[in-house]
A = this chain, B = another copy of it.
Amino acid sequence: MHTTIPRDKNNDYSGEMAQRRRAMATAATGADLKHVGHYSLDPGTLAGNIENFMGVAQVPIGLAGPLLVNGEHAQGHFYVPLATTEGTLVASYNRGMKLLTAAGGVRATVCDDAMNRAPIFIFDHALDARRFGEWVKENFHHIKAHAEATSSVASLRDIEQYMVSKFIYLRFNYTTGDAAGQNMVTKATHAACVWIKANYAPGLNYYLEANMATDKKSSRINMLHSRGKRVTAEATIPNALLEETMGASAEPLYRRRMMSTLGALMCGAHNNGAHSPNAIAAMFIATGQDVANVAESSAGFSYAELTPEGDYYISLTIPSLIVATYGGGTGLASQRECLELMGCYGSGKVYKFAEIVAAVALAGELSLASAVVSDTWVSSHEKYGRNRP
């Protein structure tokens, strides 16, 4: 026999409702849920963030830093909250931050910014699809006006067109201020489609999405055209500093980098770097990002050079980093605190935050690569990660 989860029609998100749900779950399964039920956030603030609230996951946060960032928006030394249960992770990032800070810091640059929604329009024949595409180009300003009327923030930058069979996919690219913007662009594109249908042909068939956006999935189109922020972190590390801090010289680091790129090329990886998703996931959990976006945000391009002086230039480009400093989970109790720790909560902060994430990720690239090259990878996990089989 199974029971229905208590639901509250008024969305009051009370602690009492959460408690009733835990009690029901315990009764049904025997599981104690006392840690789940231990929280300081105010359930009353959760409308719009979760349904059937029953408590919290307590995810440990380690503090790393300081990391010196020389971005356009992030400038100075930052302490970074990393929420993870993976031993060694915080220690490894911390080591990389120390190196990068000693080397004069990380340059970070947001190169592009777009949140996308991509409806498919369905025709009888390819020729009809192409003609529709021409009409869309001619009517861009009308479409833009109707899309943007749904929000005070979303701005429709352009519409890419992709034709195949008797279909055309329109990929709407927006900027969305400090929000990640997925819902904003869905709503705006929905309004645009309603207008298109009314004005192109009342019988027009479309679906609001058919995998050209591509939300919460890793894809080549997002590596080429960006979803969220396209951000590059770069640094040049003196060889002497590398040897002293990491026990690894620039030359073998560089050689192995080339081999890792070759491996990624061969196996069709969407990232030729080391492990940027570790930084991304840990920061996303700590700061209330949409963690499923690790799928898109996991893509990366790593590029290195040996300078004529024998030092090590390394850069990491994250082509689809989906982040927010406003809306979503960013305003929740511990999440907001973690954003404030980096001076990244609220309006006008999202590029700053994107720069910090990329800089942190770069720290991890250097630390893990050094461990592999200096053959301390296994021993460091023996030391820190003994809970991790």
Contacts and interface: CB of A to CB of B under 8 A. Distances in A.
A49 B86 contact: yes
Q: How many copies does the complex hold?
A: 4
Instruction: State the main secondary structure of chain A at its contact with B.
Output: mixed
Interface string A91-132: 100100000000000010101100000101010011101100
A31 interface: yes
A2 B216 contact: no
Contacts of A179: 389
Given A62-B50, A216-B277, A317-B165, A84 B291 contact: yes
Contacts of A331: 387
A294 B218 CA distance: 10
Interface residues on A, range: 35 or more
Interface in A1-38: 2-3, 5, 21, 25, 28-36, 38
Interface string A232-258: 101000000000000000000001101
Given A33-B337, A265-B261, A271-B217, A56 B59 contact: yes
A81 interface: yes
Contacts of A41: 35, 58, 60
Interface in A49-76: 49-66, 72
A335 interface: yes
